[in-house]
Structure 1
Amino acid sequence: MIRLLGRIGRADLRRHPLQTGLAMLGVAIAVAVVVAVDLANHSAREAMRVSLESVTGRATHQVVAGPDGVDEALYTRLRTELGVRRAAPVVQGGVTLGDDRGRPLTLLGLDAFAEGPFQRPLGGGDALGDAFNTLLLRDDAVALGRGEARRLGVSTGDTLDLRINGRPQPVTVVAVVDDPDDQSRGLLLADIAAAQSLLGQTGRLDRIDLIVDDARAEALATQLAGAARIVPAAASAQSVLQMSRAFHINLTALSLLAVVVGAFLVFNTLGFLGVRRRPTIGILRAMGVQRREILLQILGDALLIGIVGTLIGLGLGFALAHGLVGLVLQTVNDVYFERAAGDLVLSPWSLAAGLLVGLVGSVGAALAPAREAAATPPRAALSRADLETRARQLARRGGWSGAVVVLLGGAVIALSAGLIPAFIGLFALILGAALLAPAVILAVGGILRPLMRGRPVGGLIVEGAVASLSRTGVAVAALSVAVAAVIGVAVMIASFRASVIDWLEGSLAADFYISAPAGLTDAQADRLAGLAGVDFVSRSQWVDLATADGPVTVWALGLPAGQSPAVDIRRPAADTALEPYANDRAVLVSEPFAARRGLAPGDTLGLPVDGRRVDFDVAGIYRDYASPTGAVLMRRGLYLELYDDTGLAGIGVHAGDNAGRAGLIRRLESALGGVPGARVTDNAAVFEQSLVIFDRTFAITEVLRWLAGLVAFVGVVSALMALQLDRLREFAVLRAIGLGRGGLAGLIGGQSGLLGLIAGLWAIPLGIALAALLVFVINRRAYGWTMGFELQAGPVLEGVALAVIAALLAALYPAWRAARLRLAEGLKGE
């Protein structure tokens, strides 16, 4: 009997090829989104981990100093006077390819004789063979792993053109070594003396890596006091990974929006399987077929759809992941970690997640309607009225349940402070809105019925949409959730972009910005300040200080007397914050930094100075979107008192009121003629480039937003097309009593359009609520950013249009079928 029922089920699937194909496509898209985003996330994390571990190896601690690095004489003292045998000097710097790609790489300078215990991928000399001596003797010799050599298209003996500190620098690849796990991607190895020469760090080290226990590290810290500090080796890596954690969580959550929509789509499509077969089930039950057998038949067909859809989805997800991983890594490079390089890395967990969504989701989606259909008495199964009566009852109960779920989600968000509870509350809001969707259809029907009196076709449109609640309820729920995701993410991006524009307009105070790869000096700044047409100049230094909690970025800003930093101070009032900042040992910290460190105005922040900790008062917190890691703003005068570092990263030139910009640019370029690589940048170019980076950062979010829209589109087309095709007999009756083909087409299109409009309108408040949660709760908890709320009509109208257009497209094929339906065939059984 089970085999016979299986044949009946498969025959039903073949009789409805379009609906079956759309169901498989819906499963495939849901699986593809899950697999692609998870693979991209996994690949980005793996690239960052490998990039970090490849330069730290098995080091437990690191000896670090101030902005200028560590005097190499300290390494000699460690090995000879202090007896530290497992110590290795390291010089590390960022370089780029000299071609149009400009790909960032890490140049790592090591002492091969000290590298044995650290087991870095390219550290030991054993794998270098005859090239070992060449690396020691030549200042332009590098080695790299086999995987990186393949990506760069070079082999042993080739020349690699680099740009180092803005200067072209050819190097020769003298060795390509085996790297089975591709752990050294993005990495070039040189002898430490060669790296010092290439990077312009003669006599200085970036750090000294150690392998010691904690007790020995504490003793060394005491012995080195005043000369350097010892920090855990994992601090920097963990800091970078933790900083990007919020980004990966947000990315996963956005993908889950598409998965939620896909789950509704699968539930709607496969749930319709049981609804469509109710008459057949009633006949089979009247013939004595058991409930369990009916249940197994529907679940078996759902599993078949799930298997085919999952296999297609895995292939699509793998292909999509290749594109997404590039976007994710670009964001990581732009925002978090400048030298993360990697390719797509397969993860069994990603594939398992796709299988779970596709197979378990398909069977789970079909389980409830299958159980309901199998448990229905034969007479009730043959009655459409009984089904719709029960659907109305469920809609009313679901409405109350949805309201409760929404309130619970709001309570979770309000009473918690973490990021994960915020996402739980967000998804509770989505689920509650979905449960409310059938009740919204009933409410709209109640409003429109009085308006349709005396309009037969209009009345049929409204009644047809409301009367088929068993089929339209989940379809409208899925579509409204998807459209809300499209609206919510679009409003969030627009709000963030508007806030970034406001921040840029306020913070780009200088008219021109001067930079040079090798840095600038105060003498050059003084020369620029004396040019005709220059009002004054600002001087900036950007320094990363290594601490036990990871690197701290310090922005030392020098301004003439009477000038205040052009930052948007959020807490406390600007005057209250700037007074101690200008006169005391006080600093301003950015919002992301304050959020990560749990700082508030009036707290103290410890920074390393000459091997000891010095406390600074936090005078205020300012808005900054430059980096989610945050920065500490310090007066340059105070910075120079504490650190022996007079170099400048940039000079801001403020033009006088009557200065001609074109002439001033020529004078600035002339004054900088002897500075290698010096560049004069108009603030308009900085503004434009900042927005380019912003748009590139949110490219992955835009892709996921439209993937959710695609899932919605497929879902509504599948659901409404299935609904209309199932009503062909009803349409035949309407034709028989005199409704023409044009009227029938209008009826079908009107019902689909009405359902799409209901879904679009219901998505508006849900989408705005999602945007508000993303802006005011999730982004603030994830990154510490505050931003305005920019509600524009464009994203809202786009969402409603998506819903209505998808619904109308879903009506095209059923309308074409109904118009060509032979009445005798359609009335068969009446």
Structure 2
Amino acid sequence: MSNPKDSNLLWLSSLRFLMRHPWHFALSILGVALGVAVVVSIDLSNSSAKKAFSLSTEAVTGKATHQIQGAAESLDEETYRQVRLDAKVRKSAPVVEGYARLQGVNRTFQVLGVDPIAEAPFRDFASQEAGIELSEFMSGENTGLVSEMVAEELSVEIGDTLSLSVGGREFSLRLIGLIEATDDRSEQALESLLVVDISTAQRLFDMQGALTRIDLILPSDSEESLKKTINSVLPDGAAIVRSESRTETVEQMTRAFEFNLQALSMLALLVGMFLIYNTMTFSVVQRRPLIGRLRALGVTRNEILATVLKEAVLIGFLGTVIGIVAGIFLAQVLVKLVTQSINDLYFVLSVQELSIDLFSLGKGAVLGMGATLIAAFWPAREASQAEVSTVLRRSSNESKITERIVPLSLLGFLVALAGICVLLIPGGGIAAGYSSLLFMIVGFSLVIPLVIVGMAKVLRPVLGKISGLIGKMAVRGVVTELSRTSVAIAALVVAVAATVGVGVMVDSFRTTVVSWLESQLQADIYVQPPSSVARKADATLEPMLVDLLRETEGVADASTVRSVDVRTNKGTDNLVAINQGQAAKQAYQLKAGSENFWQRYTSESILMVSEVYAYRNNVALGDTLTIETDAGNAPFVIQAINFDYASDIGTITMSRQVYDQFFDDDAISGLALYAAEGVEVEQLVEQLREQSAGMQEVFIRSNKGLREASIEIFDRTFTVTIVLRMLAILVAFIGVLSALMALQLERSRELAVLRANGMTPGQLWNYVVTQTGVMGVMAGLLSVPLGILMAYILVYVINLRSFGWTLQFMISTEVLLQAVGLAILAALLAGLYPSWKMSKANPADALRND
């Protein structure tokens, strides 16, 4: 049959079949749509965050090609005079940069302090061309500029005052002008930017006489000669870096975070593939007699194959389109969660609107259509390859799956073995870890039919005693319809196993962090100003406040911490200077360390690095790090590696005594206080809060309070993971519902015969619900070993390769029981509608239609 008209008839026949089963058709589309929506939403959230950071960086960097940076986040402003006058580099501009929180509104602004006279070649925020009165901008105390869009959002006008909080200090800023955006791109770049005069910025950030950096424009043809000239006047610790280095550093920090979110989002699509496979198999099985007659009338195998694949294309296309649209709406929610995680872990980021990235939409379309066609190919091939004599018999399909149980199981073991081999590949990264996980899931799924048969033999006599004949029939029905029930159970197993795997991983992580916090937090009370990033102590305490708190009655001892970003031969790293003395020995858990480290660390140029830092930078005990200090480049030897779960990019730790030898910086980022014997800690906390009132906004928390706040941040960072896990379960639920509805349609004659032989509607309801419950029990029990296997790979492979953390593997009984309960509940809920439908069906109609 090669006539185009005949092909059209085949296609119309397919459409008629789909229209006769609207619920099944709709559920199939929904399964694809959900999988695509999750992938697209995560991709859009990540790309929106990237774009927001890129635009904000572009706004503050302007046309600068290079920057001069100091050793510890600051640079003496005398350096600018030397560069501009002594080195005669006219295209140079001083910059003071930081973050300020707008009081009364949950919004953080990036503050850019500039010199309007030197700004013209770099940025036009404060130029006369922009309509700004330079004399007022430069001479007016505490004045600033925001974009027209920001002013409209905040309902402020020129002359109004903005109340800001910077590191716990309160400031008032008068608005003297509005920056006009030239296009949508610049409008987005300016949405979280506050421009002030450099002297105002120095007051805001307590940086009198200091700069954050000096921007440069170095022409490519004279770049090297200009660098030599500039370097000749730079003080020790100052260095010239490319403007792009900031973006590159951020990309390195967030790469593993983004990849893991994308990989988890693919899980929903994988579960959706099970649904598509089940849908197309049902479609083929329902029309086996028709396909047999068509084959007998001369329709070729290729035409049957093409017809079934066309159905898959239609389902995939509709599901993908709906999924992309739904993904855009879902991304509106997820982008806030992703942004919150980035703010907690890495850097300040404000994403005011979702950016629609065509690449992300295209990726979702390719994955949606690709997954649909891959899942549909095997049922389509089965339909085209079957012999006419067998395709006319319904039982042939079940006999095939029965014959293939053992070969499928052997194949499953081989696929799982391949997954183990992937793990053993030297130098395998995160992608190899997830590839191994995929092999394990597929391998386990192939073994499921054999396990179902075995479980049915155990459950049949048990349910026979509980529910009698109906219980035995329900279990037997799962096996006799194995070609469909095994796929539905497998989809539910994978989705629930994902909840087990992620749940065990989160529990393991949480238990490890709680244990680490109990060891790390040795003091009774902790004092810290609010920081722009939760995990970073980038704000400092007022010296007068530090002295006041130290001398408070009831305080027996105190220790300090200073956190700064420094440049090393490995890049830009976080350096923590501590003066805890012998208390550090109890606080820090060492993974590896040289002898007498704690006796030497206060007097020698030695370091302790976190295990994450050691993993990311491939360093070990005895290696040397070169740090750019105020005294010049200085070598430090790594003599200890500690467990640290506060940062996934790693930290370097040295004693405050050694830090003071190399850095001209007496600032304090945090204060730890020890209560005198017999003093009630909570009462002392209240006393300290009263004494600090009106000086500087600070967090004064007890040991317990800080521990709870830390765990709250930890839980917040896993919110996205929990959402993705629930979406995967939703896809699986739809898969089970779809499979059960398919079974109801397939078995209408069988059930009609049972009704005709005296089975009551109530007994029929009991029969179907029992069968769905059995499927749920099987899925729940099977999800436990697969979930534990997934958790093992997540904890010991993917986590280790992503971040370098060593975690305690904790299997919670609660998580396992929840998984089994979730599987049973999902199956029972999915069986309610088919049960009701079957019990209400007229037996005569079913027998007549067969």
Q: TM tier, shorter chain?
A: over 0.9
Q: How does 1:40-79 map to 2 (within 5 A)?
A: 40-67=45-72, 69-79=74-84
In the alignment, the residues of structure 1 paired with residue 484 and residue 157 of structure 2 have an alpha-carbon distance, to the nearest angstrom, of 63
What's the counterpart of residue 651 of structure 1?
Answer: 671
Q: Distance in 2 between matches of 1:194 and 1:281?
A: 80
Match of 1:473 in 2: 486
CA contact (8 A) 2:463 2:471 kept: yes
* Structure 1 equivalent of residue 342 of structure 2: 332
- Residues 109 and 382 (structure 1 numbering): CA distance in 2 closer, same or farther, change over 3 Å? same
* Per-residue deviation, 1:187: 1.3
- 2:218 pairs with 1:207: no
Give the C-alpha shift of residue 332 in structure 1.
0.7
Whether 1:297 aligns to 2:307 is yes
Shift, 1:576, TM fit: 5.1
- Per-residue CA deviation, residues 547-594 of structure 1 (Å, 9 max, x unaligned), is 56543222111135x433543423225865424324422121122222
Alignment counterpart, residue 90 of structure 2, candidates 85, 93, 97: 85
CA distance in 1, matches of 2:144, 2:86: 32
Describe the superposition over 1:500-554 as per-residue Cα deviations: whole angstroms up to 9, x where unpaired: 2112222121111223577446776566445443231111111222456543222
CA contact (8 A) 2:591 2:643 kept: no
Deviations 1:234-254 (A, max 9, x none): 333211221111100111111
CA deviation vs aligned residue, 1:323-382 (integer Å, no higher than 9, x gap): 000100111111111244442110111211222233333333323212211222222111
1:140 aligns with 2:153: no
AA matched with 2:396: D
Report 1:550-565 matches (<5 A): 550-560=571-581, 562-565=582-585
Matched, 1:361 2:382: no
Is contact 2:631–2:662 with CA below 8 Å preserved after alignment? no
Alignment partner of 1:386 out of 396, 400, 410: 396
Please say which of residues 395-404 and 656-665 is displaced more in the overlay.
Answer: 656-665
2:562 to 541, 559, 567: 541
1:318 offset after TM fit, Å?
A: 1.1
Identify the residue that residue 354 of structure 2 maps to in structure 1: 344
CA contact (8 A) 2:113 2:197 kept: yes
Please say which of residues 817-826 and 325-334 is displaced more in the overlay. 817-826
**Secondary structure of 1:501 counterpart:** helix
TM-score by length of 1: 0.94
Q: Could you tell me how far apart the structure 2 residues matched to 1:40 and 1:645 are?
A: 39
CA distance in 1, matches of 2:432, 2:217: 40
Q: Which residue of 1 aligns with 2:194?
A: 188
Shift of 1:799: 1.9
Report Cα offsets for 1:126-149 as digits up to 9, x if no partner: 652244443233233322334444
CA shift in 2, pair 1:231/1:564, >3 Å: same
Deviates more, 1:225-234 or 1:20-29: 225-234
CA pair 157-766 structure 1, distance change in 2 beyond 3 A: same
**Conservation of the 8 A alpha-carbon contact between 1:498 and 1:790:** yes
Structure 1 residues 36 and 730: CA distance shift in structure 2, 3 A: same
- Letter aligned with residue 692 of structure 1: E
Correspondence for 1:3 among 1, 8, 13: 8
CA distance in 2: counterparts of 1:18 and 1:160, whole angstroms: 56
Out of 798, 820, 823, the residue aligned to residue 778 of structure 1 is: 798
Range with greater deviation from structure 2 (11-20 or 567-576): 567-576
Q: Which moved more, 1:163-172 or 1:782-791?
A: 163-172
Residue 504 of structure 2: aligned partner = 491
In the alignment, which of 605, 608, 614 is matched to residue 594 of structure 1? Answer: 614
- Structure 2 vs 1, CA of residues 557 and 565 (structure 1 numbering), >3 Å: closer, same or farther? farther
CA distance in 2, matches of 1:663, 1:685: 13
* 3-state SS in 2 of match to 1:564: helix
1:415 lines up with 2:425 in the alignment: yes
Q: What SS does the aligned partner of 1:797 have?
A: helix
Q: Structure 1 residues 515, 756: closer, same or farther in 2, change over 3 A?
A: closer
Gaps of 5+ in 1: none
Letter in 1 for 2:829: L
- 2:455 is equivalent to residue 444 of structure 1: yes
Aligned to 1:283: 293
Comparing 293-302 with 769-778, which one deviates more in the overlay? 293-302
Provide the aligned length of Structure 1 versus Structure 2. Answer: 826
Q: Which residue of the partner structure matches residue 655 of structure 2? A: 635
Q: In 2, are the aligned partners of 1:236 and 1:551 still within 8 Å (CA)?
A: no
2:164 partner SS: strand
**Superposition deviation, residue 825 in structure 1:** 2.4
Report the Cα offset of residue 173 of structure 1. 4.8
Structure 1 distance, partners of 2:399, 2:154, is: 67
TM-fit CA distance, 1:704:
0.6
Look up the equivalent residue of 2:701 and give its one-letter code. Answer: T
Rounded to whole Å, the distance in 2 between the matches of 1:531 and 1:127 is 55
Query: Closer, same or farther in 2 for the Cα pair 1:554/1:747, shift >3 Å?
Result: same
CA distance in 2 between partners of 1:465 and 1:678 (Å): 63
Contact kept, 8 Å, 1:403 with 1:432, in 2: the verdict is: yes
Structure 2 CA distance for partners of 1:711 and 1:195, relative to 1, 3 Å: same
Extract unaligned runs of 5+ from structure 2: 1-5, 531-538
- Decide which moves more: 242-251 or 819-828: 819-828
The range that moved more, 326-335 or 646-655, is 646-655
Worse-superposed segment, 339-348 or 398-407: 339-348
Give, in whole Å, the separation in 2 of the partners of 1:790 and 1:706: 21
Equivalent residue for 2:526? 513
Supply the distance in 2 between the matched residues of 1:97 and 1:225 (Cα, whole angstroms).
Answer: 36
Give the whole-Å Cα distance in 2 for the aligned partners of 1:66 and 1:826: 82
CA contact under 8 A between 1:544 and 1:552: conserved in structure 2?
Answer: yes
Cα contact 1:134–1:174 (8 A) shared by 2: no
**Distance in 2, Cα, partners of 1:371 & 1:749:** 33
**Percent identity, aligned pairs only?**
38
Match of 1:240 among 250, 268, 272: 250
Instruction: Select which of 125, 135, 149 maps to 2:127.
Output: 125
**What is the SS of the residue equivalent to 2:583?**
coil
701-710 or 732-741, larger mean C-alpha shift: 732-741
Q: 1:60 to 1:15 in 2, by over 3 A?
A: same
Aligned partner of 2:34 among 29, 39, 43: 29
Query: Which whole-Å CA distance do the structure 2 matches of 1:377 and 1:640 have between them?
Result: 84
Tell me which of 570, 590, 600 is aligned to 2:590: 570
For the residue of structure 2 that corresponds to 1:828, the secondary structure is helix
State the 1:51 CA deviation. 2.5
Maintained 8 Å contact 1:522/1:646 = no
- Measure the CA separation in 1 of the matches of 2:230 and 2:654: 30
- What is the aligned partner in structure 2 of residue 115 from structure 1? 119
1:765 shift after superposition:
0.8
The alpha carbon displacement at 1:675 in A equals 3.8
Tell me the CA shift for residue 60 of structure 1.
Answer: 3.1
Matched-pair contact (CA < 8 Å) for 1:160–1:173 = no
Q: Distance in 2 between matches of 1:105 and 1:407?
A: 52
Residues 258-300 of structure 1: CA distance to partner in whole angstroms, max 9, x if unpaired? 1211222222223322222212211222233333333333223
> What is the deviation of 1:452?
7.5
Deviations 1:781-801 (A, max 9, x none): 111222212211222222222
Cα distance in 2 between the residues matched to 1:347 and 1:689 = 36
* DSSP-derived class of the 1:677 partner: coil
Residues 159 and 173, structure 1, Cα contact 8 Å, conserved in 2 = no
CA, structure 1 residues 528+829, in 2 after alignment: closer, same or farther (shift >3 Å)?
A: closer
Stretch of structure 1 that moved more, 133-142 or 277-286? 133-142
Partner-residue secondary structure (3-state), 2:175: strand
Retained in 2: the 8 A contact 1:127–1:177?
no
- For residue 805 of structure 1, the aligned residue among 816, 825, 829 is 825
SS at match of 1:827: helix
Indicate conservation of the 8 Å contact 2:524/2:702, yes or no: yes
**Which amino acid is the alignment partner of residue 589 of structure 1?**
V
Q: Does 2:187 correspond to 1:174? A: no
User: What's the counterpart of residue 462 of structure 1?
Assistant: 475
